Amino acid sequence: MSAPVHVEVDGAVGVIRLDRPPANAIDLATGLALQEAIREVGARPEVGAVVVWGGPRLFAAGADIRAMAEWGPEEVRPSVDALGAACDLLEELPKPVIAAVTGYALGGGLELALACDLRYLAHDALLGQPEIRIGVIPGAGGTQRLVPLIGPGRTRELVYTGRTVDAEEALRIGLAERVVPAAEVFETAVADARSLADGPRGALAAAKRAIRAALTEPGARGIRRERELFLGLFGTPDQREGMRAFLDKRQPRFGASVDRPGAARGD
């Protein structure tokens, strides 16, 4: 049996691909494999940004319901804990993460996409948390990550009804950042990830932490957290290069001291 998750590195972009046909259902083994893949791209210094996708036909259609149908709470816990931990790792990864969504992203599949920083959808993509239709609710962070994106009212409506959202509605309500033709969604995500990876990686990591603080430490604590992250970037090579480039009226060459493709040449 082939591995349910693959990691490929294309220059400065790490690609995490779900590969569990026919629907990329996320079982215990897949959740654990996702954790391993996320740790791998996180540990590779040449990787500056990450794309998560499920292949050209679909992203992920949720949990393995056939396996779970007769389970009790303790039997299902390892699987939901595994997916939840993978989502937490993605959210905490100090690198930008883009979900490239084709076809369906349902249930656990949407929860995985929600843990990414950005969601790029194919025109025909469908998203949803349909768990209510099988007598349960999202269990790997779906309700918690939907609320900051689309608000409590829309979250209630989607979770209570279990209905799916098409790509245009997802874009309109803030559930997606880009909608492109299905044949272009992966390439677009990789191209944008490569552009991010060429940027000031320390500042991007700080930005990700600061934005996360707006959700976990709202108000004065989050503002203080942002300020400390801002101050911590002064004196770093990328801060020096960025400001010198601005004053010199040229494009900055970030990452000269980072182990990344082309760093020594400033490509």
Pair 144, 91: CB distance under 8 Å: no
Options 14, 131, 197, 202, the catalytic residue: 131
Options 61, 111, 139, 189, the catalytic residue: 111
Give residue 244's Cα distance to chain centre: 32
Instruction: Give kind and range of the element (H or E) at residue 95.
Output: none
Instruction: Give kind and range of the element (H or E) at residue 165.
Output: strand 164-166
Nearest to 93 by CA among 8, 35, 163, 140: 35
* Percent of the chain as helix, strand, coil, to the nearest 5: 50, 15, 35
Residue 131 annotated in active site: yes
Options 37, 60, 63, 189, the catalytic residue: 63
Query: Among all chains, which residue has been given the structure tokens 């996409």?
Result: 113
Residue 40 annotated in active site: no
Options 62, 84, 103, 108, the catalytic residue: 108
Give residue 111's Cα distance to chain centre: 10
Residue 108 annotated in active site: yes
Distances (CA, A) of 48 to 19, 42, 45, 165: 23, 9, 7, 31
Residue 63 annotated in active site: yes
Q: At what angle do helices 201-216 and 220-232 cross, to 10 degrees?
A: 170
Active site residues: 63, 108, 111, 131
